[in-house]
Structure 1
């Protein structure tokens, strides 16, 4: 499985509509409302990079109430974070 975090900037007062649509996408694993330049943080997972790209491009970026997105590719899940001084 491959995954990404996507930050979405929505049109004013359209966050609930965007979230409702995102909940219908089976590859969406987590949705969080955030503060700052972006309104929503989404975690998605797919079997392949190509499928992940298709979801981001055609199912998320094309939403009419989404102004912009910023995608962060997950390289690996963090399982044990250690301090440099350990």
Structure 2
């Protein structure tokens, strides 16, 4: 699977509505509400980079209350960060 974290900036006081729309997208595996310059962090997974790009471009960015997105592609995922030593 190809994964990305996407930071979203929403229209003022529309975070809950955006989160409800995001829950309908099967490629989204995690949704977190944040404080700071971004409102929401999501983890997106797709079988190919093309499908990942389509999900971000045509599903996430098309939500009317999403103002901006910032995408961070995952190059390698550590399943267990703790060392046994």
**Superposition RMSD in Å:** 1.6
Q: After the TM superposition, list the runs of 4 or more consecutive aligned residues in structure 1 that deviate by more than 3 angstroms.
A: 79-82
Shift of 1:79: 3.5
Secondary structure (helix, strand or coil) at the match of 1:43 reads strand
Q: Figure out how many residues of one structure are paired with residues of the other and give that number.
A: 84
> Which digits, 9 at most, give the CA deviation of each residue in 1:18-53, with x for residues without a partner?
000000000000000111100000001000000000
In structure 2, relative to structure 1, the CA distance for the partners of 1:64 and 1:74 (3 Å cut) is same
What is the TM-score when the length of structure 2 is the normalising length? 0.91
Unaligned 5+ runs, structure 2 = none
Distance in 1 between residues matched to 2:29 and 2:49, nearest whole Å: 16
Distance in 2 between residues matched to 1:80 and 1:23, nearest whole Å: 27
Unaligned 5+ runs, structure 1 = none
Number of the residue aligned with 1:20: 20
